[in-house]
Chains A and B, each alone.
Chain A
Amino acid sequence: MKLFDKYNRVNIAVTVIIMLVTGIIYYYTISHILTSQIDKDLVLEENEIFSYVNKNHRLPDVYESNHQQIVFAPLGNKSAERRFLDTTYHDSDEKDLEAGRALISSVKISGHNYRILVTQSKVETEDLIQIIFLITIGVIVSLLVILIVLNRVILKSIWKPFYKVLFQLKEFSLASHATINSTPSNIDEFTELDQAVISMAYRVKSDYQNLKAFTENASHELMTPISVINSKLDTLVQTDEFTDRQSKLLNDIYGTVTRLTRLNKSMLLLAKIENGLIQDNQDVDIKDVLEECLYQHEEMIYQLNIKLVTDLRDKHLQANKSLVEILLNNLLSNAIRHNHQDGKLSIYLDSEKLTISNTGEGNFNFQQVLKRFHKSDGSEGIGLGLTLCKQICDNYGFKFGYVQHGKMHAFNVTF
């Protein structure tokens, strides 16, 4: 539930209850005041009768005035208790019954008790109360409507900065270069929120930058010691005769240093792409690069007796050539390395899409293999190949996808 819906609901419920209670109190108060006004009239009438009786020692003539009736009735020896009561008033003109108020009293004339019943119509009072009631209801309804509309309009405009901040938070990404913009607001809470979000985003970004810079610098610094090891190894193998055991050890060291170098270069490259340090775009002929990659892999294709099918059209791109080479080499290496003897490898290239599909056993989760250092069973790679491919594709806005049809695994790059 949205905040202002919730707020409105509570607000309106409370308003309605208060209004109703006020209305009821209002009704009774006014009703009471008007009734006591009528009662006063009745007492006045009673007093007039008393004074008439005192003066004339007989009952006055009964005349019917508008909205008032007086009835005398002999009581004999009994006496009537003086009281007010709500009754009905019979209007002789209009021939209908109206609400009325009556006073019962008694008077003694020459030893005979008479009951006096003075009745007055309450129709005007009722009318008045009805009008007051209607006005009250009208006020309640219009107040409610105004409240709802006002709340909606005011809250919406008040919360606008909040939604703007929220939207920016949703769009926030560490990898993108877009920063969170300040959202000015004259409400202290929102200004505070806005500043907190901006400083948080700034901190997170700068931490992330530091981390990336660290990866890059660390990889960089590692290059020098690795090159020293490499050169010392090259020097060592010149020195003397080696036994089989020694040369096996040296081979292993060579292999490990090469692996270390590759790993380090890949990490450096990833960091560079992420830091947006690779720009130098040039015109790259994809077909050309692809053919060169195939040439590099020809021995492996030949050895596994892989049936190679290619359909390459011309495709030029504005990109960094070595990145494109790395992308294509990685894709091709994978397609060959995970292939089997007498397998198939097809490469299709047109102006929109490059598809490299190969036969291969097993299934894998595409999203999983894109993760860093993910290695499938029996893979000899360093686990950064496809991560690099994805990163390179992202860098140039290409779509990197994967489809599996039975034993055919197809990786595609949509330009």
Chain B
Amino acid sequence: MKLNINGTAHDVDAPEDMPLLWVLRDRLGLTGTKFGCGVAQCGACTVHVDGQPKRSCVTPVKFVGNSKITTIEGLDSPQAKAIQDAWCDIDVPQCGFCQSGQVMTATSLLTEKSDPTDDDIDGALAGNICRCATYVRIRQAVHDAADKLAG
């Protein structure tokens, strides 16, 4: 089947029910997207499908069709850059394993809403678990990124 990933067409040989997560990781070597739970509970596998955050661990590859899929490797927008810069400025990550998913979701939030409140951030990111509990800094970094984009 043909997939559009990070702006490139890929011809992939995989069973139709294989979750997008494993196609990305095991077939295409795009390992920035992580496996955390397999049941859409933790958000470590978050990618963008046509701009919307999706849990790739429960998304059978047959359902993505011609959609535009963006992974952490293909993030390329002013919002994404602002988020990643803000992450670096205050050293958000600890172990780092969930952070691809956090960055993907935070980027979506900032793209939808340029000046999110604490409640907006909590609402958008409640599906992304961080076992290191870097939440205080995630919240701060999203605000910092919004401020920077606003100039």
Verify that A and B bind, or say they do not.
Answer: no
Query: Interface of B with A (CB < 8 Å)?
Result: none
Query: Interface of A with B (CB < 8 Å)?
Result: none
